[in-house]
Structure 1
């Protein structure tokens, strides 16, 4: 089975963190989200990936290369300009000659594929849209279905009281290759506003099925932080690296912990981290690999990416620090997003 991972967006809502990396490469629990997704799909039998990339595409290519390190095959479909969801699919047509999966790679969801594929095979149409249910669908693409699951209408971001259901596009699709006939080439094409309405009009069989489990769009700083807090609370049961040294505190390899350090769970500490004396870490703190945390630092509700240096007596609250950030001693950071590093992340 082959999967197309859509990773070409600009990630504007998550800037400045995404100025020099694609949004799917932002770390979740100290590992790029795209890596979590590839490993999850590999473990369910997907062994070939096409990654559609545009913004900072070299970051993805340098990190994953041809995929051998993960025992998969990875090919890259580079977009000459932003092509939209359907345009990116059309741009990868040469590699998608059989039934294939598509994932919006900035959506945090780890679906179970077998029931979704079984549903697709049984209905016999060209397309399956994987759905999730939300309390307020007004910010999403909403579907109306018949009793067999066939999609009758696709409504983009309706007012809450006018939404035909609370089932929204979850950002995952299963397609037959004939779907390419309905997507124009070499221009930007919206799958929600152009392709799906056309497929429904042509009655080629567009069906929807709800995928259960954790789902979140990580496209804003608040949502990005929430994914981490859900991972730490285990509401989102993503694998966490490290050993649990006390309830809710996970620590990686070769971590140096100074005297008098207080961990307030939940906390995740990466590998090769140094934490100075009398620091207070947590609640809801994620420290990346090879970070240095100074003496008497207070760090709560905060995510610190790899190789950052937080100097003595700094106070971090409800903030995100990008790769290799260096803070001055004694500074207070509250509701801050800092990105100082201008080079690509390396595997």
Structure 2
């Protein structure tokens, strides 16, 4: 997704301009956009060669040789999905657009196979008691319960590492020594892991006030440690930065169909009837991206939940938005969830 802005051309550019961009940026592609940053087409050196063979001139508009129907990815597509598209169509690069066709980035085969190192801090909440999973959690913190061959928290950290993240902070409370003993300082994973401990539970957002002062001044990803997911955190982060949000909540769409006819009435009279309606909701996944200013707004020892923190930020006229994920996500809160995780993990990686 890096350096893509260097290969963007306007629709008024010439074929010569496209060749210079392709040669200078070494990404082997140029992206043609209109004034609203909507993707109009792509140009490769192969497109230019084919154009010259049919008597195009180097000063002709780039539109004469560009591919006006390029393959693209959505910001919500995972890295694996992008790789499948590139492999199917033999592509070295894949523009990333939103639902309106606006260019948001460029996924290249090189970067997809070798993810960029990301200095953004990752804060994982791992202090819960897991009471709904007793007796399994009587002697083990919930994030350390095994899913397959390793703890669920290890699966989560591995997911971040695969995407280039290497700065981790873990909040502990219940049986913290088991988490510390397993992960240590992260050196065995070639990452950094630091811990903050809640002497008393501070709510889903209060532990932010315990983070060290030397935290990188970059957007922070915060989430619960009892989740199994394939969310592409790089796309979540790119969306947060592209939109200029103060805080971003990752949500999922949930459908619920009422198995009966629903009757609407007023003063004993029927005003409407809907047979087995389907209602759609957006639910909170417990995954957030927070600006450094938002993180710093939580003071040490203050008890606060994340919804309350986000409401306070909105009252201060800060931009708080959503990112809708369609990737696999499982909140392991109940015994049935834990059993599902054991079944799903075989197809997880």
Tell me which interval the TM-score lies in, with the shorter structure as reference length.
0.5 to 0.7
Distance 2:136 2:342 in 1: 16
What residue is the counterpart of 1:45 in the other structure? Answer: 164
What residue is the counterpart of 1:205 in the other structure? Answer: 319
How far off is 1:231 after superposition? 2.9
Q: Secondary structure at the match of 2:146?
A: coil
Query: Does 2:147 correspond to 1:28?
Result: yes
Q: 1:95 to 1:49 in 2, by over 3 A?
A: farther
What residue is the counterpart of 2:185 in the other structure? Answer: 66
**Residues 243-264 of structure 1: CA deviation (Å, up to 9, x unaligned):** xxxxxxxxxxxxxxxxxxxxxx
Query: Does 2:245 correspond to 1:125?
Result: yes
Q: Residues 182 and 199 of structure 1 are in contact (CA less than 8 Å); yes or no, is this contact kept in structure 2? A: no
1:305-344 to 2 correspondences below 5 Å? none
What residue is the counterpart of 2:345 in the other structure? Answer: 231
**Residues 8-56 of structure 1: CA deviation (Å, up to 9, x unaligned):** 1111111111122211111111210111111110111111100001100
Query: Does 2:91 correspond to 1:8?
Result: no
Query: Does 2:199 correspond to 1:80?
Result: yes
Moved over 6 A (4+): none
Q: Normalising to structure 2: TM-score of the pair?
A: 0.57
Q: In the comparison of the two structures, how many residue pairs are matched?
A: 210
Distance 1:181 1:69 in 2: 30
The runs of 5 or more residues in structure 1 that have no matched partner are: 138-162, 240-347
Between structures 1 and 2, the one with greater helix share:
2
Q: Normalising to structure 1: TM-score of the pair?
A: 0.57
What residue is the counterpart of 1:114 in the other structure? Answer: 234
What residue is the counterpart of 2:42 in the other structure? Answer: none
Distance 2:311 2:323 in 1: 17
Q: Secondary structure at the match of 1:82?
A: coil
What residue is the counterpart of 2:274 in the other structure? Answer: none
Q: 1:92 to 1:181 in 2, by over 3 A?
A: closer
How far off is 1:135 after superposition? 2.5
Q: CA RMSD in A?
A: 2.2
Larger radius of gyration: 2
